[in-house]
Every structure is written in structure tokens, then in C-alpha cells.
């Protein structure tokens, strides 16, 4: 079987996030995060699960480093827990929290694995949430200060930073619908200040990081439409138009356009004129734009569309079409069109910063056999090759996730890991997909 091929300079890695794997929510002076509070006060997480233990990686991080080394990963994308570093979100840093990340980075570097840090993967310090969180314009200054502390303390250990993971989820689920922490329900238009303040925070932090000699990435997410008939030129045009559409205030173009193009789109202003007038101040767009090296996307599934009148309609899938364990479609074709669109619009190097499949993984006497996930990775990596062959500058791929972990509202019922983690003991077992990617990673050196 022909496997997708990648050059020696292509970065392969795996990704995790702090709240989903670390556990130890009050250890060594860590402060509360919004997810610490949300899980214990809201009846929304499956089976009343929480991240109090997660994968116990705060204590078992050495095992994770060994797994990454065995995988042959070039890089590890992990997030720093803001309240572990600054328990109140600002003020005096917590030395023990910083020491944890220093030790982790040192161990990774000793194994030849590059540490890549996400500064915000949804676990805002609860103390800042009580002051309005992202709805408070002062949030930008607090985040920039936090970024400076982390970058200064980690020093030369880390050269690549991602600011926010999935603003669409942070704002859409956290401030618009209230499904995620902190559980606010301001609606689409009402949550625009959260989008804009997040962008101000990104811009301020990116400028600081660039002044310190770091590389910076911005990460968005989402499923992607693709033309059911690729030979239909008008359908392709409509798909590209939809990918650029500001459907919600927190849609991907409303994040990437100000960062990479210097302003929100004309379509955005036409739809959200009043919200923009109330929120955007003179000088804001200059703070947001520039200083960002990589356009990054998290992607799991696409969906085919057809023409309907002047617009598009999602094509109904045949009965029995393949689904992940969580009900998401298994469909790799959208990522090609997403990468092609992003590179054509923003002309920035691309990274696929999350990609993976939720499966019903059950250990057997001779391992964890996840053939469907292997096929999923093969399909997506083939589409990456296709996009690169058509001119997209793709620099990195991070599998989600290194470990089965706390998957937000799904709790521990959802498994995306390359490594099986027993939810009771936290024992780790590499799956067949782990060894598949191990072979793909190592093939670059042949």
C-alpha cells in the first residue's frame, strides 16, 4: 500500500492540552481555572466527569516524554496552564508551576523533541473570569503579561508559540451559547467584544513574543465544506465564498482577516456594523495585525455541498456512511479545500495543529487495535500531500491526541489518543495507530 510521503524538514508531532491531561488541580499553588469551576457546578459534562485527575500528567509527565520519543515525534504541542503559572491570572508568578514546564521542556529537548507551547487552551484563571473574562477589554493586557512571563521563564527552550486555541470554541461555545466554560450566553452579536478582545490579546502577545525572537502561530478550527463535484467551477467559487463568509462573529475569517489582512472584511462590517462601532477603537486593528508567522487550523471532518439556487446546500450522505464514535463524519476531503483556501487568502505558511479520530477503543490481550483510526490518518495525510502538491506551503502536522484524555463535555467517554489511557489507573498503552504514525514519521529519514 502506498503511504503518504513527507520531506525531512516537515514537522510531525502530537498535541495535548493542560486541563485535559495534567490533573493535580490544586497542586503546588495552582489557582482555579474556569473549567475547574464549570465541571463542578454545571450538570453538562458526561457522567459528571472532570479534569481533576485527567491523565495524571502533572505527575507522570516523564512517561509522556518517553512515549513521544518512541513515537519519533519532531515536536510536542502542549498548553501551559495559565492558573498554574499565575494563580490569580496576574501578579506574582508561581515558581513551582513554572518549574513543571521547565522540566518538561528540558526532558523533551534531551529526547530531540521540540516543545511548542499553546498559551491558552481554554483554561482561563477563574479570578479573571470573575472580572468579565474576555468581555473585559483589560483582558488583553493580562494575557500579554502572562505571555511575557512564560516566554521569559522558558527562555531558549521554546521558540514557537500558539496564542489561543480555537477562538471559535472559546467564544462560540463559551460566550455565545454557554455550552463550555465559563458558560456565558451573550448570543452571536452580544459576544463580539469577546472576539475583539481576544484578538487584541493575540496581537499584544504576538508583538512581545516577536520582540523576544519567537515564532507565533494563530490557531482556528472547524469542519469545512467542499464541492461534491470538483469540476463544477461555479460550485468551487461558491465554496470559496462560504469559507470566507463571516457567518458568526466568531467565524474563522473574523479571526484570521484582522491578524493577516489587517482588518475585518467588508462582509463582516455589512453584517455587524453596530457591534463593530460599539467595540472597535482607534488603533485596535494596528495592535492586532502582523507579528504572526503561521496560519494554523484544527480540523477533523468535512462535508460535501451542492449548488442550490444562488447558494449552497449540504449534500445528504447515504445511509450507513462512516461515523466516528462521537457521531462526527469520517470525511477527509474538506481539509484539502481548507488548506488551499487559507493559503490562497493569507499567503502564510500553514500548520495542521490538530487532527484525529474518536474511536471505540477497547484493549485486548495483545494490544489496542484501531484500524479505522489508521485509515483515517492515511486519508488525511494523503490530502495534505495533495494540497502541498497544489502549492500550499504546509509546514507541520500534529495528531490529536497523544493520549486519551478528558474530552470536555464528553468527559472520558471519547477517545482520540494514539495511546490508550485507563481512566481509573491512568496506565498507558500505545495503540496500533501509534505504531502506524511511528512508521510514517521515520520514513522521512530513509
CA distance 374 to 430: 13
- Dig out the grid coordinates for 20 from the structure: 485535559
Q: How far is CA 326 from each of CA 411, 413, 414, rounded to the nearest angstrom?
A: 12, 9, 7
CA distance 42 to 413: 18
The 3-state secondary structure of 93-156 reads CCHHHHHHHHHHHHHHHHCCCEEEEEEECCCCEHHHHCCCHHHCCCHHHHHHHHHHHHHHHHHH
Proportion of the chain in helix, strand, coil states, percent, rounded to 5: 45, 15, 40
- Dig out the grid coordinates for 119 from the structure: 498559551
**Among candidate residues 134, 120, 163, the one with its CA nearest the CA of residue 17:** 120
CA distance 199 to 153: 24
Of the residues 166, 275, 332, 407, only one is catalytic, namely 166
Contact assessment for residue 331 and residue 376, using Cβ atoms and an 8 Å cutoff: no
CA distance 199 to 252: 12
Of the residues 153, 275, 354, 407, only one is catalytic, namely 354
- Dig out the grid coordinates for 67 from the structure: 512515549
CA distance 149 to 86: 9
Q: How far is CA 329 from each of CA 268, 300, 301, rounded to the nearest angstrom?
A: 29, 9, 6
Please state the separation of Cα 408 from the chain's center in Å: 13
Backbone phi, psi, residue 374, to 5°: -60, -45
**354 carries an active-site annotation:** yes
**166 carries an active-site annotation:** yes
Catalytically active residues are 166, 354
Amino acid at each position: 500500500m502506498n503511504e503518504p510521503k513527507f520531506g525531512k524538514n516537515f514537522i510531525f508531532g502530537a498535541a495535548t492540552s493542560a486541563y485535559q491531561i495534567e490533573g493535580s488541580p490544586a497542586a503546588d499553588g495552582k489557582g482555579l481555572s474556569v473549567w475547574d469551576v464549570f465541571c463542578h457546578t454545571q450538570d453538562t459534562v458526561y457522567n459528571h466527569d472532570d479534569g481533576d485527575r485527567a491523565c495524571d500528567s502533572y505527575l507522570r509527565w516523564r512517561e509522556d516524554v518517553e512515549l513521544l520519543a518512541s513515537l519519533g515525534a519532531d515536536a510536542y504541542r502542549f498548553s501551559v496552564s495559565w492558573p498554574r503559572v499565575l494563580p490569580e491570572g496576574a501578579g506574582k508568578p508561581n515558581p513551582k508551576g513554572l518549574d513543571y514546564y521547565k522540566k518538561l521542556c528540558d526532558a523533551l529537548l534531551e529526547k530531540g523533541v521540540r516543545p511548542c507551547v499553546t498559551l491558552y487552551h481554554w483554561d482561563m484563571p477563574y479570578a479573571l473570569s470573575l472580572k468579565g473574562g474576555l468581555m473585559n477589554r483589560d483582558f488583553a493586557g493580562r494575557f500579554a503579561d502572562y505571555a511575557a512571563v512564560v516566554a521569559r521563564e522558558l527562555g531558549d527552550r521554546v521558540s514557537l508559540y500558539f496564542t489561543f486555541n480555537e477562538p471559535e470554541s472559546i467564544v462560540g461555545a463559551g460566550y455565545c451559547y454557554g455550552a463550555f466554560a465559563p458558560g456565558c450566553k451573550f448570543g452571536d452579536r452580544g459576544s463580539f467584544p469577546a472576539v475583539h478582545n481576544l484578538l487584541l490579546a493575540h496581537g499584544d502577545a504576538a508583538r512581545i513574543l516577536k520582540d523576544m525572537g519567537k515564532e507565533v502561530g494563530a490557531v482556528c478550527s472547524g469542519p469545512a465544506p467542499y464541492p461534491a463535484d470538483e469540476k463544477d467551477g461555479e460550485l468551487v467559487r461558491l465554496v470559496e465564498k462560504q469559507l470566507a463568509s463571516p457567518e458568526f462573529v466568531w467565524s474563522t475569517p473574523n479571526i484570521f482577516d484582522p491578524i493577516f489582512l489587517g482588518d475585518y472584511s467588508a462582509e463582516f462590517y455589512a453584517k455587524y456594523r453596530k457591534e463593530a462601532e460599539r467595540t472597535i477603537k482607534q488603533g485596535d486593528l494596528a495592535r492586532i495585525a502582523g507579528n504572526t508567522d503561521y496560519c494554523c487550523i484544527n480540523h477533523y471532518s468535512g462535508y460535501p455541498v451542492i449548488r442550490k439556487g444562488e447558494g449552497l446546500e449540504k449534500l445528504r450522505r447515504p445511509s450507513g456512511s462512516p461515523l466516528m464514535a462521537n457521531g462526527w463524519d469520517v470525511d477527509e476531503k474538506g481539509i484539502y479545500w481548507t488548506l488551499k483556501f487559507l493559503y490562497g487568502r493569507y499567503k502564510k505558511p500553514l500548520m495542521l495543529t490538530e487532527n484525529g479520530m474518536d474511536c471505540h477503543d477497547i484493549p485486548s490481550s495483545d494490544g489496542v487495535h484501531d484500524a479505522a483510526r489508521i485509515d483515517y490518518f492515511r486519508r488525511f495525510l494523503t490530502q495534505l500531500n495533495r494540497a502541498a502538491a497544489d502549492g500550499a506551503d504546509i509546514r507541520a502536522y500534529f495528531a490529536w491526541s497523544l493520549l486519551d484524555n478528558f474530552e470536555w463535555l464528553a468527559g472520558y467517554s471519547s477517545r482520540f489518543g494514539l495511546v490508550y489511557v485507563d481512566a481509573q489507573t491512568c496506565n498507558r498503552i500505545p495503540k496500533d495507530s501509534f505504531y502506524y504514525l511511528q512508521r510514517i514519521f521515520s520514513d522521512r529519514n530513509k
